[in-house]
Amino acid sequence: MTTRQTDRYPVSFERRRYGETTYTWAYVHIEGEAISLGDPWACLTPPVHEVRAAIASSPAVAQALARAAAAPASERNGTR
């Protein structure tokens, strides 16, 4: 699994080869939670603008961001 920083959040990529095609799944990491960005891309490296669009349009990402914002400051900075 590969990880790179995309805007504010790290994104990891998992690649699998099926026949002649390599598929890449992407996961955004928010507050220690890995959130799938949905269906895989049929390529080795998805375009950055498509990954950003998937992050922006994902209901699961929006929910994770809302949970992170609602968490007490002690939980957000790990000082519980």
Encode pLDDT of 48-77 as tens digits.
999 999 999 999 999 998 998 887 765 655
Average pLDDT rounded to a whole number, residues 29-40 = 93
At 80 the pLDDT is 47
**65: nearest Cα among 35, 26, 27, 25:** 35
Report the residue count for the chain: 80
Contact 9, 28 (CB under 8 A): yes
pTM assigned to the model: 0.79
Residue indicated by tokens 């928010």: 30
CA dihedral of 3, 61, 15, 9, whole degrees rounded to 10: -10
